[in-house]
Structure 1
Amino acid sequence: MAHEEESLKQELEELQKQLGKKQKFEEAVFNLKSLLRDLYPSSSPSLRKLFYSVICRVATILKTRYTAPGFWLAGLGLFEQAEHLVSDASEKQHLKTCILQAREHLRQLHNPSESTPNTSNRGYLFEGHLTVDPEPPQPQWLVHSNLLTTAATLFAAESSQGPAESNNTTENAASLLQDLITSLDDVLPLIPENDAVPRRVPPASKEVVAKLPVIIIEEEILAKLGKDAECAICRENLVVSDKMQELPCKHTFHPPCLKPWLDEHNSCPICRHELQTDDHAYESWKEREKEAEEERKGAANAIRGGEYMYV
């Protein structure tokens, strides 16, 4: 019995490796479905956990790599079969979510005109290309600038109108200013210093990302990390033989998850450590900001020191 369990464990681990190869993905999912149907009901708790872990990997790979309907149809069939077999409530709920995501993805592929932008979605790395995100909202500093401009225009128009019109204009301007005052705490940090313009962080340097070390999760490493260890981007639990890319801050993530994240955010999802970019203008601006921040801290410390002298 122990030999059979060990043999099944090795087979599942081999299938998990095959999932990462595009040409073997559908065959691996088909074989996984067969094993799930025939052996899951009689498997031990530890083997059931391994089954679930491999199924979660299928979901992760679909979301981070593949768009073709064949891959998603295979995944959908697997998720539906697994959802009927598992008994753990959290696993069942997660599989229901995977089923909904797969059906929605397939629906959008068949009816692209019906798909609507969703500003809450991040772009995924689909077959080497990032999806096109919806138009981002206006930055807060621009919103506040527009409010101030509109209010000033209304006040200027007040003098050229009659008493009744003037009252309405004043009320409108007062309302706009109240909106601005309500969010004043958000405005002040966004006011540029020394005519600096707020900048969007460019993507991380491709050369820097390529040199990030890759770590393969082994039994000893997984034991130190704990059973609940996960990739902070895709939120999938780590398993033995996972490849993880390590940032300079020592936090690690799946390489297929990390690449699109760094392209969009260029910072560690956990500690916000920022990587070097290929944008020399941005790097120079960042260095000037760092020096200015040190000067501000020095001035603040000097003021506090003076206050203590007179206490």
Structure 2
Amino acid sequence: MNTLLTVANLKKSFKDKEALKGISFEVYRGEIMAILGPNGAGKSTTIRNIMGIMYPDSGEIHFHQQSGKGIPKSKIGYLPEERGLYKDVKVMDILLYLADLKDYPLDKAKERIFMYLKKFDLEGKENTSVEELSKGMSQKVQFIGSILHEPELLILDEPFSGLDPVSQEVFKEEIASLAANGTAILLSSHQMNLVEQMCDRLFMIQHGEKVIYGTLDDVKKQYANFKCVLHGENPPALLEKIPEVDRIEYSGNRSILHLPKGIIPHQWLKQLPNELDVQELHINRISLHEIFIDIATDKHLVSQEGGS
């Protein structure tokens, strides 16, 4: 793997609060890596340290062979969670201004602006002021601003927030295209379904510490046991007789049977009683959303490899 960004043993405190407790990870060229965590976990602090908005108390951040204040901001694109475009400025002017800040050739930037305006269904909006745009349109403009200068590393903080489903698909396609062309993408989002669809690897923080780091397959194998979702009129007493079940969730005629580690689904199915009412049944691993909730709320209902 071609490593573009290395974060090594990063620590950061604010007064008596330790926001980051020695976290480390890498981001590779051409990959989409998710940085996840509940509010207050340390995601924004990590991103701000990478961007040079603040600096760590200790630890190192390397971009190529450069570190600290030497990281070239012209090589990084950043879409912050807090949107912030000048409202009384025209779309073309604000985008050219952002390109100029990155030392990107303005004639080339102008060509790319027209291309992206068309791609994001904003054709003809170049002379519209930002305040005249809808929230979704403004977000598209800010996204264009983050990728206009062809960054090697793109950091996206909640890029899908407030977007309608059609716009989300457009963003997803563009992000995937950028990664396919070699851009390293660090994506922060609370929309676990989109993270699960898009990301190659995950890094999750809880209380300023690493709790997950690896590919989605690795995480699923480590954390995600199988579950059986069963639709039918089945009394709890019958379901509770089924062997090798950790716990059962009931919701009307829908029951979720959480299975322990090591279960082989097709073999487990043979143990279901004949009198079971099966209107619909499917078995899969629990979702990233469920893993996130379990870790973020410290419920510890999801057993890990080697755990119970």
Asked whether the two chains share a fold, i.e. TM above 0.5, the reply is no
> Which protein is richer in helix relative to its size?
1
Q: TM-score, normalised by structure 1?
A: 0.24
> Which protein is richer in strand relative to its size?
2
Q: TM-score, normalised by structure 2?
A: 0.25
Which has the larger Rg? Answer: 1
